[in-house]
Structure 1
Amino acid sequence: MSEQQPLVVKLGGTLLESEQALNALFSTLKAFIDDSGRPLLLVHGGGVLVDNQLKAMGLTSTKKNGLRVTPFEQIPVIAGALAGTANKLLLAQAIAHEIPSVGLCLGDGGLCRVSQLDPELGAVGQIEGGDAALVSSLLAGSFLPIVSSIGITFDGKLMNVNADQAATAIAEILDADLVMLSDVSGILDGEGQLIAHLSEADAQQLMEQNVIKDGMAVKVKAALKATKTLGKPVAVGSWRHPEQLLSLLAGESGYGTRISH
């Protein structure tokens, strides 16, 4: 096993709806693991699957400040979609690409401490670092941990955690590099152009101008938190271009947006 720093990759967006996209992504991840030998951990949400499941059950969903309002009566459905279906779809792809993997949630091994964020949001979790022992042992054994963004409070309640915030917390626990992958090529300015490098001051200005808003604002705030804690940039890019993904994962400039403190 390489002694290099672990790499945490957050997966999001509509990726889980496309078997072709998943296949391309995991082919790239397999090549990255084989070539670099770096310990790799995936963190994922699955908002599209959650939306589809809620709709199929005749339930509606709203968001507040980029976070999904999660009534406690809906958390079994959301946990099933994220820790169940989404997690196992990703695990199946890893197995198909001969990557030894383990499916987890934020509560396994006490990985992250989770508490209720805001009563108005319902079963939405605020996340803090926890115990890296289980995940570190898996990484040392050359396993790929695939972690869903479902957390568990100290008194045993399931919580829906924003996956960007979950990825940030896990990167901090492991002192890892962090790459966030979504539908878009990176952070875009008011003209829709890719921003190659984004500082905290520029990010604050774009959020005040409502250019960066909703879910992207949550992502950028999580990335900025990670840059401060880890003392290194966080990359935001797209899973849509696997041919660019190796360069993004390797930390090369010219791909995605690099967010720095």
Structure 2
Amino acid sequence: MSRSPIVIKVGGALLDDAAAMTRLFLSIKEVQTTRPVVVVHGGGPLVETLMASLGLTSTKIDGLRVTPDEHMPYICGALAGSANKQLCAAALASGLTPVGLSLLDGNMVVCEPLADKYGAVGVPSTADSAFLKNVLAQSALPVISSIGSSPQGRLLNVNADQAATVIAELLDAELLLLSNVDGVLDSDKVLISELNAQSIAKYASEGVITDGMKVKVDAALSSADTLNRAVYIASWTADINAILNKNTGTQILPTTLKPTNGENTDHLNGDAGDK
């Protein structure tokens, strides 16, 4: 069986579902017998709760939240601290060996500020994979928060989907974007097995893919294009092998898949089918 790593991105809402956390980590434990696994997480709900309790508010520009530098100590505490350690504790309880990390650890990822108007929002890019590969070689489970740093040492808040994508790029790994939905549904509430840019645009124009799911699908398409491979949208309660075997979830195909090692990939660029 392929030993290529699997990167699993989970949102902060998973922290509110202990049963789902346990199920996910038990599934990871099973997969880990054949393939390395990395978990990358956000923590939006936890951050929002903390900021509200502190009386701190932030604004959005073009749908992207502005992150003042003075808010970063609290955001780091919520993401790299509370969220990360809760996930690590759940992994430990499931018999795994978690290692809590952030993007900046081991010089895995380097970040640059997106633009001054957004504050401490970072754009990640790959740096050095050696440290992360060494952790994986110990059969440990890296659990990585979406906190990064610029080369100058400025802490930056990174979108969790982008964080997961850059880690998958670093390891040439498969990427699973897991949340509390089974995948993308058509107008009859039937799970769609595959989507590409054309079918996404079609479903969006018909009002089938809207709001939060449109954001999720667009993020997955961007990740698929970056990684040059299919990205999976599925539930964090699903069996990981079932997702990879295409028995559940939705595959988001890259816009243009470049052949690798002479492989014919034309079948991945046609119209997406429904299931």
TM-score norm. by structure 2 comes to: 0.83
In 2, Cα distance between equivalents of 1:62 and 1:208: 29
Assess if the C-alpha contact under 8 Å between 1:178 and 1:234 holds in 2.
yes
Assess if the C-alpha contact under 8 Å between 2:180 and 2:235 holds in 1.
yes
Q: Does 1:258 align with 2:251?
A: yes
Counterpart for residue 270 of structure 2 = none
Assess if the C-alpha contact under 8 Å between 1:43 and 1:167 holds in 2.
yes
Assess if the C-alpha contact under 8 Å between 2:232 and 2:250 holds in 1.
yes
- Cα distance change of structure 1 residues 75 and 189 upon mapping to structure 2, 3 Å threshold: farther
In 2, Cα distance between equivalents of 1:203 and 1:155: 39
In 2, Cα distance between equivalents of 1:24 and 1:51: 26
Counterpart for residue 265 of structure 2 = none
Q: Does 1:99 align with 2:96?
A: yes
Q: 1:131: how far off?
A: 1.0
In 1, Cα distance between equivalents of 2:59 and 2:106: 31
In 1, Cα distance between equivalents of 2:150 and 2:81: 19
Counterpart for residue 9 of structure 1 = 8
Deviates more, 1:160-169 or 1:90-99: 90-99
Map 1:161-180 to 2 at 5 A. Answer: 161-180=158-177
Deviates more, 1:87-96 or 1:204-213: 204-213
Q: Does 1:157 align with 2:178?
A: no
Assess if the C-alpha contact under 8 Å between 1:125 and 1:160 holds in 2.
yes
Q: Unmatched 5+ residue regions in structure 1?
A: none
- Paired AA for residue 83 in structure 1: A
Identify the match of residue 247 of structure 1 among 242, 245, 249: 242
Q: Does 1:238 align with 2:199?
A: no
- Cα distance change of structure 1 residues 130 and 93 upon mapping to structure 2, 3 Å threshold: same
- Paired AA for residue 23 in structure 1: T
What SS does the aligned partner of 2:120 have?
Answer: coil
Q: 1:203: how far off?
A: 2.5
Give the aligned length. Answer: 254
C-alpha distance after superposition, 1:52-105 (max 9, x if no partner):
111111222444455332122211111110000000111111222221121110
Assess if the C-alpha contact under 8 Å between 1:100 and 1:144 holds in 2.
yes
What SS does the aligned partner of 1:102 have?
Answer: strand
Q: Does 1:122 align with 2:115?
A: no
Q: 1:32: how far off?
A: 2.3
Map 1:178-257 to 2 at 5 A. Answer: 178-189=175-186, 193-206=190-203, 212=209, 216-239=213-236, 241-242=237-238, 244-248=239-243, 251-257=244-250
- Cα distance change of structure 1 residues 222 and 108 upon mapping to structure 2, 3 Å threshold: same
C-alpha distance after superposition, 1:221-256 (max 9, x if no partner):
4432333343321111111x34x44311xx112311
Q: Tell which has more relative contact order, 1 or 2 (C-alpha 8 A, sep 6+).
A: 1
In 2, Cα distance between equivalents of 1:8 and 1:142: 15
Assess if the C-alpha contact under 8 Å between 1:82 and 1:149 holds in 2.
yes
Q: Does 1:113 align with 2:110?
A: yes
What SS does the aligned partner of 2:32 have?
Answer: helix
In 1, Cα distance between equivalents of 2:189 and 2:61: 24
- Paired AA for residue 118 in structure 1: A
Counterpart for residue 17 of structure 2 = 18
TM-score norm. by structure 1 comes to: 0.87
- Paired AA for residue 49 in structure 2: N
Assess if the C-alpha contact under 8 Å between 2:31 and 2:240 holds in 1.
no
Q: Which has the larger radius of gyration?
A: 2
RMSD of equivalent CA atoms: 2.3
Q: Unmatched 5+ residue regions in structure 2?
A: 255-275
Q: Does 1:29 align with 2:24?
A: no
User: Percent identity at matched positions?
Assistant: 45
Q: 1:184: how far off?
A: 1.6
In 1, Cα distance between equivalents of 2:113 and 2:9: 22
Assess if the C-alpha contact under 8 Å between 2:12 and 2:46 holds in 1.
no
- Cα distance change of structure 1 residues 205 and 78 upon mapping to structure 2, 3 Å threshold: farther
